[in-house]
Structure 1
Amino acid sequence: MTFQRARTDEQRSQRRRQILDTAAAMLTEMPVAKLSLNELSRRVALAKANVLRYFESREAVLLDLLDAEIRDWIAELETSQTER
């Protein structure tokens, strides 16, 4: 993969989504305690400092993933309630 700087808001959004998707995939392979910024940055092919441009810490990545999961769960609950 050739590195290309994310210059537009859309590209930054895509890069952020790529980091989150990779972290989510890592959590299917390992416990949360084993997920490190070093391994995450290696898997997304970015320097750790560049990952930290999008998220200030490993915990920020995990909180973003948790927030997305909760929003999806609430949407599912609302859908199931309207179907009754």
Structure 2
Amino acid sequence: MVMLKRETGGLEPSAPGNAGGYGKLDRLRDWIVARMAAKPDLTLDDLILEIADEHQITSHRVSIWWPLRTLGPSHKNDLQAVEQ
């Protein structure tokens, strides 16, 4: 509590969450959108491998799913939702 008071000037807790960013994959959002539009049948596992090959970033399936879900595809990977 002393450190919180010293750093923030108050004792209010910070807001939960990560402010909407997606960590190391946030900068790849446009690339992911383009990749999904170019190859709509791409699976999460395929996307993980492509990101590792092209961007030298290792990630987990869930890490890929979070930015993807904001784009709109369901588990069936509906390309029309991504393009809108």
TM-score, normalized by the shorter chain, greater than 0.5: no
Higher Rg of the two aligned structures = 2
More helix by share: 1
Q: TM-score band (shorter)? A: 0.3 to 0.5
TM-score when scaled to structure 1?
Answer: 0.42
